[in-house]
Chain A
Amino acid sequence: MIEIQEVSVTYPNGVHALRNINLRVEKGEFVFLVGATGAGKSTLLKLITREVVPTTGKVIVAGRNVAEIPPHEVPYYRRTMGVVFQDFGLLPNKTVWENVAFALRVLGLPRKEIRKRTAHALELVGLLKRCNSFPAQLSGGEAQRVAIARAIANDPPLLLADEPTGNLDPDTSWDIMQLLSHINIRGTTVLVASHDKYVIDRMRKRVVMLERGTIISDVPCGVYAHEP
């Protein structure tokens, strides 16, 4: 699904975000990217969304070299993945329903199909009854559920989450992870960048640990107890 080959990223300001990274994620996997702030987790996800292109090395997603996608095709490439942010990334002037439907409307789907998929996605995250609320009226957990509903509404094969529980209390974080796990079981490959030790340790999933731009450990069914 994802192949990162000897990738380094140096930002224009001279910061080495990633140094010679190799990572392979198979279809249907659930992977945690862990590490302190600035370890390179976000940069790694941005390589996949093509917000960042590697300075050296190759990123291959679904058999395609991401760096070689021409700019006008990038929007279509991004429709093959759902993205969830720490700060939820909901459009503040749109209702819950409109936020989820928006992702489908930009695809140009017919109205009936949009209605069906929006309802389905909101039901999956348990927020169909709040569909007329605006983001400001939601709790953090609810907002993140809406963001997840939007990310999966299009049923993409890949879901990326950057610190999805960073702004949430432990119980809500656990619920959100359960939801992501549930989506993973339905067949979606899930990549989660996090430093939420409490959740990661209980999930028993593959854990890739980054430190100062390099991968220092990669264990299946791992825990985030591996402190240096």
Chain B
Amino acid sequence: MHMNLSHVEFLIEEALVNLRRNGLMTLAAIGTVALALAVFGGFGLIVWRLENLANSLPPKFAIDVFLKDSVSRERALELQKQIQKHPDIAQVTFKPKEQAWPEFQKELQQEITAALPYNPLPDSFIIQVKDPSRTGAVSAWLKSLPEVDAVRDAKEEVDIILSVAAVVRWIGIGGTLLLLIATSVIIYNAVRLTVFARRREIRIMQLIGATSGTIRTPFVLEGVVQGVLGAWIACGLILGVSQLVSHFVMRKLVFIDSLGGAPLPFWVVFLVLTLLGAAIGGAVSVLSVRKYLQAV
């Protein structure tokens, strides 16, 4: 079949005129898409934030390595370079005892520390691991070094946080998939109703001699436009609600923000929902029209 420019123009014009003149149906479909995608997007955002939060916590638990008193400053700096080469270690910070002492004094009451005649603290390293789940292995290796007196890690706490994060991740992925299916079904129903209302038009067009492509294309374009417009409204809803939440709730729960985990950038939400709206809108239109195209 040849597709000249005026035919393409005709199909687009058909879609736009139909959208305008089926105003109420169009609004109902757009509204359904908007609500469904807003719920989906909102859930996605919450899951993303939780996941991010869980991931941001373990690196805060560094490993403290205390050196024996007999280790010289030169040896300690050499050791720092050696530790730095370990593949699981992200960062090694050397904390000499003369720096640790005033911090310790500040933390405790000065009267107690002031009574001590000398600095009892050892030199130490503060070590960040790359992958929190490797904390135990790294600690064991550090303990085996002859210069090391003691190692303090938060392996148990890290393990708990990691397992909670894993649960959150799986609930998030499962929930997102379920919601995606539910969203598609809801949008499919909305679009199917608009097509059902116009099934006679499809029959008339068939008897006039319109090809299936000519009948289908305006419906699909309409579905895509409805999906995209619905997605944009959903973005507006999400933006509005998240502003409200951060304004009224987060201010009172400052610790959530201080725990870390950046919110998903809005343009990502916008892009994902727009593409999703267009894809679902187009796909369900093809499905809805197919039934009536087969009828004659």
Write the residues of chain A forming the contact surface with B, with a CB cutoff of 8 angstroms. 49, 51, 72, 75-79, 83, 89-94, 102-103, 105-108, 110-111, 150
Contacts and interface: CB of A to CB of B under 8 A. Distances in A.
Contacts of A108: 2, 4, 6-7
B206 A78 contact: yes
Contacts of A51: 207, 296
Contacts of B181: none
B205 interface: yes
B6 A110 contact: yes
B110 interface: no
B39 to A, nearest CB: 32
Contact of B204 (A77, A79, A89, A107): A89
Given A51-B296, A93-B17, A93-B21, A106 B6 contact: no
Interface residues of B, number: 22
A207 B110 CA distance: 119
A163 to B, nearest CB: 15
A71 to B, nearest CB: 9
Contacts, number: 55
Contacts of B200: 89
B210 interface: yes
B207 A78 contact: yes
A79 B207 CA distance: 8
A72 B209 CA distance: 11
B212 interface: yes
B214 A106 contact: yes
B208 A78 contact: yes
A111 B4 CA distance: 12
Contact of B210 (A90, A106, A150): A106
A76 B2 CA distance: 13
Nearest to A91: B201
A76 B1 CA distance: 11
A195 to B, nearest CB: 22
B18 interface: yes
Contact of A79 (B18, B201, B209): B209
Given A51-B296, A105-B10, A111-B6, A91 B204 contact: yes
Nearest to A134: B21
Given A79-B209, A108-B6, 20 more contacts: A51-B296, A72-B211, A72-B212, A75-B210, A75-B211, A76-B211, A78-B208, A83-B208, A89-B200, A89-B204, A93-B17, A93-B18, A93-B21, A102-B208, A103-B208, A106-B205, A106-B208, A107-B209, A108-B7, A150-B208
B93 interface: no
Given A91-B204, A93-B22, A106 B209 contact: yes
B206 A75 contact: yes
18 contacts: A51-B296, A75-B211, A76-B209, A78-B209, A89-B204, A89-B207, A91-B201, A91-B205, A93-B21, A93-B22, A94-B17, A102-B208, A105-B10, A106-B209, A106-B210, A106-B214, A111-B6, A150-B208
A75 B7 CA distance: 16
A49 B208 CA distance: 10
B6 A83 contact: no
Nearest to A79: B209
A191 to B, nearest CB: 14
A93 B201 CA distance: 10
A149 to B, nearest CB: 13
A49 B207 contact: yes
Interface in B1-50: 2, 4, 6-7, 10, 17-18, 21-22
Contacts of B10: 105
A49 B296 CA distance: 10
* Highest count of chain B CB atoms <10 Å: which of A51, A78, A105, A110: A105
A94 B4 CA distance: 23
B153 to A, nearest CB: 71
A83 B205 CA distance: 11
Contacts of A92: 201
A67 to B, nearest CB: 15
A78 to B, nearest CB: 4
Contacts of A94: 17
Nearest to A110: B6
Contacts of A77: 209
Contact of A75 (B17, B18, B209): B209
Contacts of B212: 72, 75
A111 B200 CA distance: 26
Contacts of B2: 108
A105 B204 CA distance: 14
B211 to A, nearest CB: 4
Nearest to A52: B296
B163 to A, nearest CB: 58
